[in-house]
Homo-oligomer: A and B are copies of this chain.
Amino acid sequence: MAGSTYGNIFKITTWGESHGKALGVVVDGCPAGLSLSEEDIQVYLNRRKPGASRFATARSEDDKVEILSGIFEGKTTGTPISMMVKNKDHHSADYSKIASYYRPGHADYTFDEKYGFRDYRGGGRSSGRETIGRVAGGAIAAKILKEFGITLNTYVASIGPISISQNRFDLDEIDKNELNMPDKVAAQEAAAYLETLIKEKNSAGGTVECIVQGLPTGLGDPVFDKLDANLAKAIFSIGAVKGLEIGDGFAAAHTTGLHNNDAFITDAQGHITKKTNHSGGILGGISDGAQLVLRAAFKPTPSIAAPQQTVNKDGEEITIEIVGRHDPLIAARGVVVVEAMTALTLVDALFANASARIDTLKKIYK
């Protein structure tokens, strides 16, 4: 409830609105002894704003993160890490119009229904800027995972009708194109597609994939806290996400057991592994040692410049045109958010698993 805290052992609590004084996060449950600097967070946060990209809004924010607590002599102390990003241009715009009507595809109407009124400036708490806190927290989670040899790669897998091709799949390509696609050709086609949509005052949906290497077996619990269940909550908590697949996802629903079952085999080193990975690295809610694979569907940016039908607060039907520049695509900005939420979930599962066995605990308390 309340709903601004995520995680059970490793927890983040985010706060802040689009046009408030600042946005931030409190990370609680971070173990002591992790080297951590503002630079570690900033690198991650910078991935939220595709900067020079033609396909991202040019809001003049530096988004400089400040660590306010929880670090001493360059290391985490085990106490809460508070991080803040100040809002710069929070007095600039005129929001009298947006205050009076309900934008289609936005949370204006539902906030009013739930709370009786809303902070309408820039979407308030439902703004994409809310993800600043998640991403700052996710930066720490990702750094912890790295300590255990776990690495994440996240990218745009499709934009509108254009999908990456497995034949051209290249992780190195992700940071080289402005759409974060691991396929140069698809990125070019998608860019052209987006240019067309911009002209048409329209926007595109897209999918984001996250793959994780190095995950130990055994993470996740058998029933409600299945690893995939917690990932699902994490990913669906991102605004604009309308679908999620683990491994083959919906394709598994259209195929047969003979095709979908992953055969267990023994590798050259004598370790048990799987011949295929239709399961996406999770069996029965528990990580199976294979690569974790998840795929999120992002709806198109609801803020579009084309005329749209809606109602104002008095219920009168009106036609609106949303001014200002908006990203034609949410998915590209969603990449680092998906990665952050995945990292947060994995750290929590890693810590929870510490008490799965008596003999594991005896390694700690002897």
Contacts and interface: CB of A to CB of B under 8 A. Distances in A.
Given A125-B222, A249-B242, A24 B82 contact: yes
B356 A354 contact: no
Contacts of A284: 106-107, 110-111, 126, 239
A31 B350 CA distance: 15
Interface string A1-13: 1111110111101
A210 B176 CA distance: 42
Given A226-B3, A256-B300, A217 B114 contact: yes
Contacts of A51: none
Given A22-B69, A107-B283, A300 B257 contact: yes
Contact of A308 (B205, B223, B263, B355): B263
Contacts of A11: 2, 5
A202 B257 CA distance: 6
Interface in A90-138: 102, 104-107, 109-111, 113-119, 124-126, 130
A53 interface: no
A185 interface: no
Given A84-B84, A224-B237, A258-B308, 14 more contacts: A1-B29, A3-B225, A4-B224, A8-B8, A31-B356, A32-B357, A33-B359, A72-B119, A77-B117, A126-B284, A130-B222, A264-B310, A266-B315, A354-B355
Given A107-B222, A114-B217, A232-B232, A256 B13 contact: no
